[in-house]
A and B are shown apart, each in its own frame.
Chain A
Amino acid sequence: NAGVTQTPKFQVLKTGQSMTLQCAQDMNHEYMSWYRQDPGMGLRLIHYSVGAGITDQGEVPNGYNVSRSTTEDFPLRLLSAAPSQTSVYFCASRRAGGQPQHFGDGTRLSIL
């Protein structure tokens, strides 16, 4: 049972490039979320999904897209990377109506 798996673990991009951060969970959780973690800022919610085909915006959604075609996968797309998107990105999942959230180990993204 792998839990929440994020790939890649590290990535360096140039400004303007696009990329997709992958997130997969094997716990059959309905809810999945993406957070970004910046020094002194805690964890801020980017986008979340309450089930396949359903997504919604969180606190800081600008510059990011998501889709949820299956229960297991919830990729995060950066459309045109900007230095302000340099951060550590965490994916999390949980069952509907319950806690806790289970987090992956993060993707460390640097944008030059």
Chain B
Amino acid sequence: QQQVKQSPQSLIVQKGGISIINCAYENTAFDYFPWYQQFPGKGPALLIAIRPDVSEKKEGRFTISFNKSAKQFSLHIMDSQPGDSATYFCAASRPRGGSNYKLTFGKGTLLTVNP
């Protein structure tokens, strides 16, 4: 059972455009939703994260939108740049006090931003 579903698998955007990656989750116990960015040959690195008590979080050109009732969250990259070309993973984890405080990852989206 895939607990975090991510789409699309790949995305091509022109420089200056908006990149949108979507994720849906099933487990309502999840309460932390990070996005990781991975460049070729490197490990994933935390990009931005949100908790379900807010509907949106913005850090520079990166914004997470969160819809608790629909169990969906998305990453928006404004003014996309070629340097944003990478693989993006959404993830979710259960409350920190629980025994299952582990990240469950989506399958990833390969973003290519053309100059």
In the complex, whether B32 has a CB less than 8 A from a CB of chain A is: yes
Contact yes or no, B102 A4, CB < 8 A: no
Interface class of chain B by DSSP: loop
Name B103's contact: one of A4, A101, A105, A106 (CB within 8 Å). A101
**Residues of chain B lying within 8 A (CB to CB) of residue A58:** 102
In the complex, whether A90 has a CB less than 8 A from a CB of chain B is: yes
| Contact flag A100-B49 (CB < 8 Å), given A40-B9, A43-B44 | yes
Name A105's contact: one of B43, B96, B97, B102 (CB within 8 Å). B43
In the complex, whether A45 has a CB less than 8 A from a CB of chain B is: yes
**Residues of chain A lying within 8 A (CB to CB) of residue B46:** 99-101
Interface residues on B, range: 20 to 34
Contact yes or no, B107 A99, CB < 8 A: no
Residue of A at shortest CB range from B42?
A105
Name A42's contact: one of B89, B97, B102 (CB within 8 Å). B89
Q: Which residues of A contact B (CB under 8 A)?
A: 4, 33, 40-45, 48, 58, 90, 92, 97-101, 103-106
Q: Which residues of B contact A (CB under 8 A)?
A: 6, 9, 32, 34, 41-46, 49, 89, 93, 96-97, 101-103, 105-108
